[in-house]
Amino acid sequence: MPVKKLLLKKLLKTCLLLLNLVSNFGSLLQGPARPPPPCLVEAEGQVLTDGTLVIDGRAVAVVYFRAGYAPADYPSEAEWRARLLMEQSSAIKCPSISYHLVGTKKIQQELAKPNVLERFLDNKEDIAKLRKSFAGLWSLDNEEIVKSAIEKPDLFVLKPQREGGGNNIYGHELRDMLIKLQKEQGESLAAYILMQRIFPKASLAPLVRGGDCFEDLTISELGIYGAYLRTAQVKSPRHTMVLLHNQIRSYSMA
């Protein structure tokens, strides 16, 4: 039976597990509503011999993570055990732990190292084009780069291993954090990477806010979205959408 039909058949018979806030780390989107325990998955979940994830007597087809991206989402070992249980099951994870980790800043920095892209691509022209698009990315064990960032913090961005850009550190706060991390050493250094700061060109654009139309200088960001669904034998990556996001320059986190 084709993969799509197998997935559809499974979805029709099962439910979606939504991972939300820490206090509700897991809620089932079927059946009667009831307050979940602090960690529903860890308390009531089990993986059957065929890989099926069962919680509260119901098989789970899809696990959708709206939480689980920040350290605060794992306040105890129960949340870690729940994550491991879900990953060991055959439920579709959105995202799986491998896909989750590949989006971290550290992986971006590793891909920027010499001879790493060659592990994944054969065409030298494609490798050169891709490498040309990279900004500078460095780990904090590079003492020369850290020294440069402390001396000229406006040329760098300090990025934690977190989802999105809202946790990035700039300017004098970057300098202070680097000095603090140098004193702490150890695992604290591995929690961040340094990136060359990008200074994109601002363009005048018409904007609408609160029903009013006005013009302002904006920074444009192109987002290319894709979908990736796989089984042990079949992989089906697809390009699904392109989004051009315009943001007022004064609000930009470039």
Q: What is the pLDDT of residue 238?
A: 63
In contact, 70 and 162? CB cutoff 8 Å: yes
Query: Which residues partner with 192 through β-bridges?
Result: 160
- Name the token pair of 127: 């490798």
CA-atom Rg of the chain in angstroms: 22
- Give long-range contacts, CB 8 A cutoff, 24+ apart: 107-112: 108/137, 108/193, 109/137, 109/138, 109/139, 109/193, 109/195, 112/136, 112/137
The H-or-E segment that residue 110 falls in is helix 105-111
- For the beta sheet containing 137-139, the strands, ordered from the edge strand earlier in sequence to the opposite edge, are 137-139, 192-196, 156-160
Please calculate the CA angle 45-51-54 and round it to the nearest 5 degrees: 25
What backbone phi and psi angles, to 5 degrees, belong to 22? -60, -40
First to last CA, the chain: 48
For the chain, 254 residues long, give each residue's pLDDT as a single digit of tens: 454 555 545 544 556 677 664 444 444 444 444 434 446 788 888 999 999 998 878 888 888 888 888 778 888 888 889 899 999 999 989 888 988 888 888 888 888 888 999 999 999 999 999 999 888 999 898 899 999 999 999 999 999 887 666 788 999 999 999 999 988 877 778 889 999 998 888 888 888 888 899 999 998 888 887 777 777 665 666 656 777 777 776 544 44
Q: 3-class DSSP state for residue 51?
A: coil
SS (H, E, C) 191-248: CEEEEECCCCCCEEEEEEECCEEEEEEEEEEEEEEEEEEECCCCEEEEEEEEEEEEEE
If you search the block for the tokens 């971006």, which residue do you land on? Answer: 108
57: left (phi over 0), alpha (psi -120 to 50) or beta: left
Q: What is the value of pTM for the model shown? A: 0.68
In contact, 254 and 200? CB cutoff 8 Å: yes
In contact, 24 and 36? CB cutoff 8 Å: yes
Q: What length does the chain have? A: 254
- Name the token pair of 78: 């129960």
